[in-house]
């Protein structure tokens, strides 16, 4: 995971050069809220403004960092060996108030989507996914459980 964190920092530095503030969502955000011990973080998903993806691709090309744009999903997949960082357009995947919170992942400090918004994302994903619907539904149920506990304790 240390290698993935360093690779993600490299991508965040590129975004910082362009004054883009990526926001974590997906698996890493799920882990941040659940703290599941056996959860393996295989990649890091960030939301960025859709219009910034072309600028980011330009810098990646200059720096010779391997990347691929997936038009069907409007996503940019950046890879280095088995390490993967995905940049997704915030306009496509995130609706509602832009309510984020800071998360420190062993020194990698990032903004993550709120628990309520992550629940909404997994709710949509569990309905739309062809290959991971069951996985998304299970994560959705876990996140709803965490929200319920938080509401009872606050």
Are the CB atoms for 109 and 103 separated by under 8 Å?
yes
- Span 118-154, pLDDT tens digits: 999 999 888 888 888 899 999 999 999 999 988 888 6
Taking the model in full, what pTM does it have? 0.91
- Comparing C-alpha atoms, which of 149, 41, 152 is closest to residue 103? 41
- State residue 73's pLDDT score: 84
- Span 80-98, pLDDT tens digits: 999 999 999 998 887 777 7
- CA 93 to chain CA centroid, Å, is 10
Sheet holding 67-70, edge to edge: 67-70, 75-80, 83-89, 44-48, 23-25, 108-113, 100-105
């Amino acid at each position: 995971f240390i290698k993935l964190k360093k690779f993600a920092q490299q991508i965040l530095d590129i975004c910082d050069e362009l004054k883009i503030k990526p926001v974590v969502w997906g698996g890493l955000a799920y882990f941040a809220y659940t703290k599941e011990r056996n959860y393996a973080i295989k990649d890091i998903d960030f939301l960025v403004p859709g219009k910034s993806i072309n600028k980011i691709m330009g810098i990646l090309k200059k720096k010779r960092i391997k990347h691929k744009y997936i038009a069907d999903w409007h996503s940019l997949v950046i890879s280095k060996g088995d390490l993967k960082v995905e940049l997704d357009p915030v306009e496509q995947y995130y609706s509602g108030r832009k309510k984020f919170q800071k998360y420190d992942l062993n020194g990698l400090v990032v903004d993550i989507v709120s628990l309520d918004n992550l629940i909404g994302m997994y709710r949509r994903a569990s309905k739309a996914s062809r290959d991971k619907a069951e996985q998304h539904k299970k994560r959705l149920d876990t996140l709803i459980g965490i929200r319920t506990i938080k509401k009872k304790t606050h």
